[in-house]
A and B are shown apart, each in its own frame.
Chain A
């Protein structure tokens, strides 16, 4: 949209209409994710929609409001690479939680 800024990394100047559009979009996405709960959608459809809306909202906030899409690649890498460790940790803890759950069902339930 506006490429006049930030190749130098100096200041972030973008038209105010861009922020208003993103703001509107965030409202719509929040309403949609609230509707997922309100309509009591369940199962795979529920969590697919929740995750899609969540990542879209997060993406808009990071790239437009926090101006990350106009930063240089070195900055993006600084911020995007470390969270890979978080994803690995989430995976490990999911496996561990599943194991604990099965152990409890096997050994610790009286029913």
Chain B
């Protein structure tokens, strides 16, 4: 049989028909992993609605939207550097995604102690992200006087959008840190020795999703 791209496309559509019509479980994965995907799909809708709401108030505003590059700038040793803290937070979150991916990998290789260490490292990076966010919020609230109902820089809805979106994301990171630590403890205690270490991949899905959401927040809120 000739292997062309259209052939392989047809055959992957055939797998869809087979998966849905066969006398078997539709999605060939552990239930915990499927449920995590469904949860993340729901979470995608929540974050999308927040970002869409932000887009809507920003588009309909008559006065000027605060310039994120200025609002989130830091002055270090006399140098005015735009978005510095946000850039560092972005790199930390990406790094934590990398360590998480490696934890999943070592888990499947059966190297439990390396997997646990990498999960703890991921949690530490996540916690430092939340710490920096707390610092950022403090600076904006105490020094800059930004409130959900108004701010000195421009459109009043800036604060509401900002605290809602980054707050909900920060909540996800905090929950992720706790989740990671609990799973790391259970993995190292040997709770999953019989069923295998799929659980690390499931935890990883959640963690990568948190990183994924940050990619969109970074682009739409900070860079726009």
Query: Which A residues contact B (CB, under 8 angstroms)?
Result: 8-9, 11-14, 16, 19-20, 22-23, 26-27, 30, 33-34, 36-38, 40, 46-47, 50-51, 53-54, 57-58, 61-62, 64-67, 71-75, 77-79, 82-83, 86, 89-90, 93-94, 96-98, 100-101, 104-105, 108-109
- Check if B192 is an interface residue, CB within 8 A of chain A: no
Partner of A16, one of B15, B45, B102, B212: B102
Interface size on B, residues (CB 8 A): 59
A43 to B44, CA, bound (A): 28
Partner of A9, one of B13, B28, B48: B28
Contact assessment for B29 and A9 in the assembled complex, using a CB-CB cutoff below 8 Å = yes
Contact assessment for B60 and A100 in the assembled complex, using a CB-CB cutoff below 8 Å = yes
| CB-defined A-B contacts under 8 Å, sample of 26 | A9-B27, A9-B29, A11-B196, A23-B94, A23-B95, A23-B98, A26-B98, A37-B83, A38-B82, A46-B223, A61-B215, A65-B208, A66-B208, A72-B12, A73-B13, A77-B16, A86-B44, A93-B52, A93-B53, A93-B56, A96-B60, A97-B55, A97-B60, A100-B56, A101-B61, A104-B62
Q: In the complex, what residue of chain B is closest to A16 when comparing beta carbons?
A: B105
**Hey, what's the 0/1 contact readout for B171-183 against A, CB within 8 Å counting as 1?**
0000000000000
Q: In the complex, what residue of chain B is closest to A86 when comparing beta carbons?
A: B48
Query: Which B residues contact A (CB, under 8 angstroms)?
Result: 12-13, 15-16, 19-20, 26-29, 37, 41, 44-45, 48-49, 52-53, 55-62, 69, 82-83, 87, 90-91, 94-95, 97-98, 100-102, 104-105, 108-109, 196, 198, 201, 204-205, 208-209, 211-212, 215-216, 218-219, 222-224
A61 to B222, CA, bound (A): 20
Partner of B28, one of A8, A40, A98: A8
Contact assessment for A101 and B59 in the assembled complex, using a CB-CB cutoff below 8 Å = yes
Contact assessment for B205 and A66 in the assembled complex, using a CB-CB cutoff below 8 Å = yes
Contact assessment for B55 and A94 in the assembled complex, using a CB-CB cutoff below 8 Å = yes
A83 to B44, CA, bound (A): 8
A73 to B37, CA, bound (A): 14
Chain A CB within 10 A, most for which of B57, B102, B216, B223? B223
A71 to B37, CA, bound (A): 12
Task: Find chain A residues with CB under 8 A from B83 CB.
Answer: 34, 37-38
Task: Find chain A residues with CB under 8 A from B29 CB.
Answer: 9, 71, 75
Contact assessment for A27 and B94 in the assembled complex, using a CB-CB cutoff below 8 Å = yes
Chain B min CB distance to A86 (Å): 4
Chain B min CB distance to A78 (Å): 7
Chain B min CB distance to A71 (Å): 8
Q: A33-B223, A66-B205, A73-B16 are in contact. Are A93 and B216 (CB under 8 A)?
A: no
Q: In the complex, what residue of chain B is closest to A89 when comparing beta carbons?
A: B52
Q: In the complex, what residue of chain B is closest to A30 when comparing beta carbons?
A: B90
